[in-house]
Structure 1
Amino acid sequence: MIYVQYIQDMWQSLISAWWVKSALSVIAAVAIWLIGLKHVQVLGIFILLVGLDLVTKWASVAYRMLVDNFGYDPEHIAAWEKYRAIPTAFDLNLIRSEYMRKGFCDKVLTYVTVTAAAFLFDWLAGEKSFAVNLVWLYLGSSEFLSILENLRDGGNKSMGRFLELVRDKIENKVKF
């Protein structure tokens, strides 16, 4: 008897709002298909890079705030102090979107636009993915360099030396 009632309750739960459940399953299927596309996967990685770039930029602004406004000794600021000071830098209006070179949405929209244009170029030229790979290489490396610059500006001196090494390697590979 208990099993019959349980099965009836389960069936009632399954058929209630079936259209919502069906719509959600279609959306989930489309999302899973999109996640399997290489361009969407790279977009996700680029979004992570942009997020890391913003956080390291905020940390470098917070580091500068700790040194300039609160008199911290630059040699004795722990890494966690910079990140803990980010909310204070926001409160003091030292970190605002208009102060940043490009905001998160601008960077992601630029990525999508340039990748779409490169995809169309490759399609028209009959290439497999020449322009798309070139765009991804440029955008990824510019985000990487920006993250290194932010870490350097945030008081990490070893990143400054690493940044110089990376720039030397890039300049030796690409001569204008």
Structure 2
Amino acid sequence: MNEVISYANAMWQALTHSFILRSILSAIASVAIWLAGLKHVQVLGIFILLVFIDLLTKWAAIAYKMLVDDGADGIKLSAIDKYIAIPCAFERRLISSEYMRKGFVKKILTYVAATAAAFLFDSMAGGITNKSSFAVNLVWLYLGSAEFLSILENLRDGGNQSMGKFLDLVKTKIESRVKL
């Protein structure tokens, strides 16, 4: 019986430990879940995911180049080999987390600023009651396209030769749609 009481006491201590911190984090999570219902926040989440994929594929491309420079046959390397070599590329300081972190923050701040400006433009041009979002959609198309193209370029640079022709096709389609 003492064992059960001791176990229950330990559980109670674990539950109440840092109760205020857990309550604050729970409140923040609740607000975040509420905000997730907003389309702009949802698209921000998707954009952040694109940026993470872009960074991961960039790291894989750098690791692939490192392996090839070390004498590995690029054709015989599997996709997993590049990702397994990423920690080694960090150790050799070929990948700088500071550079990648600054790039990530810059991309997110660009997204937020451009989306906010486009939202204000749409509000001004169409009024609050009009649900037109021409400028916001244009900003999202441009920023999403830039990240998508960067991911494809990283995949190509990471030894995926088939991405070269696909990248050219996608660039042509995007450029014809955005008129760059």
**2:108, 2:41 → 1: CA distance?**
12
Partner of 1:77: 77
> Could you tell me the percent identity over the aligned residues?
69
Partner of 2:57: 56
Shift of 1:169: 2.1
When the two structures are superposed, what TM-score results if normalisation uses the length of structure 1? 0.81
| Paired residue total | 162
When the two structures are superposed, what TM-score results if normalisation uses the length of structure 2? 0.79
CA 1:31/1:173 → structure 2, altered by over 3 Å: closer, same or farther? closer
CA 1:25/1:82 → structure 2, altered by over 3 Å: closer, same or farther? closer
Partner of 1:164: 168
Give the ranges of 4+ consecutive aligned residues of structure 1 lying more than 3 Å apart after TM superposition: 19-29, 97-100, 171-176
Task: Note the alpha carbon deviations across 1:27-85, whole angstroms, 9 max, x for none.
Answer: 343222101000000000000000000000000000000001x2001110110000000
**2:148, 2:41 → 1: CA distance?**
19
RMSD between superposed Cα atoms in Å = 2.7
Q: Is the 8 A contact 1:97 1:103 kept in 2?
A: no
Q: Is the 8 A contact 2:54 2:151 kept in 1?
A: yes
Q: Which moved more, 1:46-55 or 1:114-123?
A: 114-123
Structure 1 unmatched runs, 5+:
1-12
SS at match of 1:81: helix
